[in-house]
Structure 1
Amino acid sequence: MGKLTEFRNSQLKLLEDNQNLSTGDVTSMNVTILNGGVLHNVVPAVMECTVDCRIAINTNPVELENMIRTWCKDAGEGVEVFFPVQEKAVKPTELNSSNKYWKSMESALDAMKVQVKPTIFYAITDSRFLRSLGIPCFGISPLEKTPVLLHDHNEYVSVETYLKGIEFYKTIINNLADLD
Structure 2
Amino acid sequence: MKNPNFSNKKLSTGDGENHEFSHINLVQFFSPAMGIVVNVPDNWVEESSDSIFQVSDPVTGTQFTASAFQNPGLSFDKWTFMRLSMVEEGMPYLREVRGPYPFKAKTWANFAAEYEGRFPEKNEDSRYVVLCMHTDKMLISFTVVANAKVYAANEALYTWLLQNHLEIYDVIRVKQEG
TM-score (norm 2): 0.25
Q: When you count helix as a share of all residues, which structure comes out higher?
A: 1
Flag the structure with more relative contact order, 1 or 2, with Cα contacts below 8 A and sequence separation at least 6.
2
TM-score (norm 1): 0.25
